[in-house]
Amino acid sequence: MVKINETNKKMNLLTLPGDGIGPEIVRQATKIIKALSPDIIIDSAPIGGAGYDADGDPLPKTTLDKAVKADAILMGSVGDWKYDKLPREKRPERGLLRIRSELELFANLRPAMLFDDLVNASSLKPEIVSGLDILIVRELTGDIYFGEPRGIHRNNKDQREGFNTMRYSENEIRRIGDVAFQLARLRKRRLCSVDKANVLEATELWREVMIETSQDYPDVTLSHMYVDNAAMQLVKDPKQFDVLVTGNIFGDILSDEASMLTGSIGMLPSASLDKNNKGLFEPSHGSAPDIAGKDLANPIATIMSAAMMYKYSLNQSDKSDLIEKAIEKTLAQGFRTKDIMSKQSIEVGCEEMGDLILGNLFNE
């Protein structure tokens, strides 16, 4: 019998372009992946509004089946105002939340790093952000996003009342804690756990379990911060942080805030990983329907998400480095999409930004 050599096995990538600017940004990242991995097998499937249009479901069964089988998944973005009136279960965002939950992608890594050439694109002063390199580790399959009971009902005062439940079990906290401590070990060994333990029991337990977990990582310094303070510290002195670990809802909010430190939300990639490091890679930003199809979107967050795919899921850090260097070079050459434009720069569209980065991949 022929033994399959794992490293020579052809990789299967599933792309989920989604809605809005999703298709155009995924197209740019796909070009780069094809250049780096000519053998990779790439399939594509609809999700979000595109899933609903194709199949009446924001996560069609065929899409989920393909996602289960793929080695890695690259997603664009989901959502469009035209689906706002649909029942909640049919809305594009549900497709994304369901795939995260079905594949148990509990660890969401959102690195916020500032390329030197973008120091003036940030809304903060250069001395506050230059050299910034922080990693937000967001728990992705629990918390108030998924907690039951939830709903909108009529209460006993005959008022409509909306309710959700913030819920975390200790094993959910421990497994994201382990991921964050291990990632901190590969960096500056400083982990800040963000909670609201002074008010919310769910996050009081979060803090307790983080402290327990820290016993296994004596080489990492653990600190704690309330989420309101963390939001303030992120704009006051973001470089005090190395790795931040937090729950689903706080991580959602803090990562959007952190993106502004990097110049634009168009610069923030993300990896959502399961316990075996299989992952879904997607930019942290939304579908921006207002600029969709106009060739205005910044594809860099998606291209950096492809770099994270090589690093975390495919074990090919060399390719992830090549991508990051190509982006750095393209920015140093002065090319910018509209969202990161500055006076002396040359404005390019989404497609051209993709081509420029591709051109810089193999040119030292």
Q: Give the Cα separation of 204 and 207 in Å (integer).
A: 5
Q: Which of 337, 235, 312 has the alpha carbon at shortest distance from 73?
A: 312
- β-pairing verdict for 346-347 and 335-336: parallel
Tokens representing 212 are 């327990």
Contacts with Mg ion: how many residues (CB under 5 A)?
1
Partner from ligand IPM, Mg ion, none binding residue 55, C-beta < 5-8 Å depending on class: none
Partner from Mg ion, ligand IPM, none binding residue 143, C-beta < 5-8 Å depending on class: none
Partner from ligand IPM, Mg ion, none binding residue 234, C-beta < 5-8 Å depending on class: none
- When the beta carbons of 60 and 79 are compared against Mg ion, the nearer one is 79
Q: Which of 172, 231, 178 has the alpha carbon at shortest distance from 202?
A: 172
- With b meaning 16 or more CB within 10 Å and e meaning fewer, what string describes 304-328? bbbbbbbbbbbebeebbebbbbbbb
Q: Give the Cα separation of 185 and 174 in Å (integer).
A: 16
Tokens representing 196 are 């609201």
Give catalytic residue positions: 145, 196, 228, 252, 256
Least Å from the CB of residue 218 to ligand IPM: 33
Stretch that binds Mg ion, among 114-122, 131-139, 198-206, 244-252 (CB under 5 A): 244-252
User: What secondary structure does DSSP assign to 9-59, as a single string?
Assistant: SPPEEEEEEESTTHHHHHHHHHHHHHHH-TT-EEEE---THHHHHHHSSSS
Partner from Mg ion, ligand IPM, none binding residue 172, C-beta < 5-8 Å depending on class: none
How many Cα neighbours within 13 Å face the side chain of 64?
A: 16
Least Å from the CB of residue 220 to ligand IPM: 26
Enumerate binding residues for ligand IPM (CB under 6 A): 79, 93, 96-97, 252, 284
Q: Give the Cα separation of 107 and 45 in Å (integer).
A: 23
Partner from ligand IPM, Mg ion, none binding residue 96, C-beta < 5-8 Å depending on class: ligand IPM
- When the beta carbons of 11 and 253 are compared against ligand IPM, the nearer one is 253
| Choice from 57, 252, 282, 339 touching Mg ion (CB under 5 A) | 252
Partner from Mg ion, ligand IPM, none binding residue 24, C-beta < 5-8 Å depending on class: none
Least Å from the CB of residue 234 to ligand IPM: 16
* Helices 317-332 and 22-36, axial angle in degrees (round to 10): 120
- When the beta carbons of 96 and 183 are compared against ligand IPM, the nearer one is 96
Least Å from the CB of residue 101 to Mg ion: 16
Helix (H) or strand (E) holding 134: strand 133-139
The residue behind tokens 């549900």 is 94
- When the beta carbons of 57 and 252 are compared against Mg ion, the nearer one is 252
Least Å from the CB of residue 4 to ligand IPM: 35
**Shortest-Cβ-distance residue relative to Mg ion:** 252
**Shortest-Cβ-distance residue relative to ligand IPM:** 93
Least Å from the CB of residue 353 to ligand IPM: 22
Neighbours of 299 (CB within 10 A): 29
Q: Give the Cα separation of 164 and 188 in Å (integer).
A: 37
- When the beta carbons of 22 and 79 are compared against ligand IPM, the nearer one is 79
Stretch that binds Mg ion, among 100-108, 116-124, 230-238, 252-260 (CB under 5 A): 252-260
- When the beta carbons of 99 and 119 are compared against ligand IPM, the nearer one is 99
By CB under 5 A, name the binding residues for Mg ion: 252
